[in-house]
Amino acid sequence: MTATRRIGDSDVYPIGLGCMNLSHAYGAPTEPAAASRLLNEALDLGCNFFDTATIYGAGENEKLVAASVGERRKDIFLASKCVLDVRDGKRVLDGRPGAIKAACDASLKRLNTDVIDLYYMHRPDPNVPIEDSVGALSELVEAGKIRFVGLSEMGQRLIERAHAVHPITAVQSEYSLWVRNPEIAVMETCRDLDIALVAFSPVGRGFLADPPFDPANMHEKDMRRFFPRFSDENYPGNLDLLDEARACAAEVGCTVAQLALAWLLAKGDHVLPIPGTTSSDHLKDNVAAADVTLDDDMVARLDAHFTPESAVGPRYNEQIQATVDTEQFEFETRSSQ
């Protein structure tokens, strides 16, 4: 039996499900019936930690999750997010207490639920002190509208300030063999404060698969068009990294995607990857990664191969990087100056 991992007061399957892909970001939304089948298949496979957000499909992803799971809502540890939203067709950050409370009420309605298990600040609002935003989230806990408070794309300083106002249950950060930034400070901070580290894009937005994602097939609305590592000039230089990953996966007896997920699980009991997919086959592959065990030598071998400096191109462009608070490696800050 697969060992569970703890988030808040709940034991969940070690591999969660990022629901974004079904409605947002990588192309046209998945047809609702197919999306519903995939969400229920995830539950059937034991995956019971679902992650959505206000901005995913401008609220449509939350509606999709609600309509798909129906009475199975009680079987899910459900997370959503606020602060990052779309208004009049434009992305906005609004961490004001009143805006957070209004966003929560709207999410509760779309999710057709009385309470959200985990409610994150999707991004920091530079115009609102983190203490004010987390104070509003604390009041939502007191009101019984949310159970636990989370943060996303925030670094050590903001995590500690937020935690001083109200206990933070989870911090969501991009973390994978291809993106090692949480190891600068967030990993240790979460461990010290008993906070779950929820790793989004754990399969490198499709890069850590075999075959890897081909940028030539990008949909016109695929947000990877704006990520430097997927550019025509950078992406080919990253493909050589996969040769060693394939060799390691063959030795372990798993797929490259499973290797990437198992590596994250080996990084600490408080780490929970949430890969997203629109494919039933990929879903099964991801969920099965919970039963893949890497020994210390294999983890060290992967650490040594996928060094932060080995990736060609920064994680985000300057515009997107300016909206997050996660730490960067020194070589990254030098290259952006």
CATH number of the domain encompassing residue 228: 3.20.20.100
Residue 30's pLDDT band, with cuts at 50, 70 and 90, is very high
Q: Is residue 23 part of a domain?
A: yes
What number of other Cβ atoms are within 10 A of residue 141's Cβ? Answer: 16
Residue 337's pLDDT band, with cuts at 50, 70 and 90, is low
- The identity of residue 108, as a single letter, is L
Enumerate residues 6+ apart whose C-beta is below 8 A from 291: 2
E strands along 38-167, which residues? Answer: 49-51, 77-82, 84-87, 90-93, 116-121, 146-152
Q: Report how far residue 68's alpha carbon sits from residue 53's, in angstroms, rounded to the nearest whole number.
A: 16
- The identity of residue 227, as a single letter, is F
Q: Which of 56, 175, 235, 316 is catalytic?
A: 56
Q: What is the pLDDT of residue 308?
A: 96
What is the tens place of the pLDDT at every residue in 168-203?
999 999 999 999 999 999 999 999 999 999 999 999
Q: What is the pLDDT of residue 90?
A: 86
Domain range for 244: 10-335
Residue 8's pLDDT band, with cuts at 50, 70 and 90, is very high
Question: Quick one: CA torsion of 77, 32, 202, 73, rounded to 10 degrees?
Answer: 0
Domain count of the fold of the chain: 1
Rounded to two decimals, the pTM is: 0.96
pLDDT at 1 > cutoff 80? no
Query: What per-residue string of b and e applies to 220-250 under the rule 16 or more CB within 10 Å gives b?
Result: eebebeebbbbbeebbeebeebbeebeebbe
**Mean pLDDT, rounded, of the chain:** 96
Q: Is residue 99 part of a domain?
A: yes
pLDDT at 336 > cutoff 60? no
pLDDT at 56 > cutoff 70? yes
Q: Is residue 3 part of a domain?
A: no
Q: Is residue 26 annotated as a catalytic residue, yes or no?
A: no
Q: Is residue 4 part of a domain?
A: no
Q: Is residue 267 part of a domain?
A: yes
Q: Is residue 39 part of a domain?
A: yes
What is the tens place of the pLDDT at every residue in 253-302?
999 999 999 999 999 999 999 999 999 999 999 999 999 999 999 999 99
CA angle, 293 then 296 then 301, to 5° = 100
Q: What is the pLDDT of residue 335?
A: 61
What is the tens place of the pLDDT at every residue in 93-119?
999 999 999 999 999 999 999 999 999
For residue 173, give both structure tokens.
């950060």
| Cα 149 → chain centroid | 15
What is the tens place of the pLDDT at every residue in 215-262?
998 999 899 999 999 999 999 999 999 999 999 999 999 999 999 999
Q: Is residue 198 part of a domain?
A: yes
Q: What is the pLDDT of residue 154?
A: 98
Q: Is residue 313 part of a domain?
A: yes
Average pLDDT rounded to a whole number, residues 134-148: 98
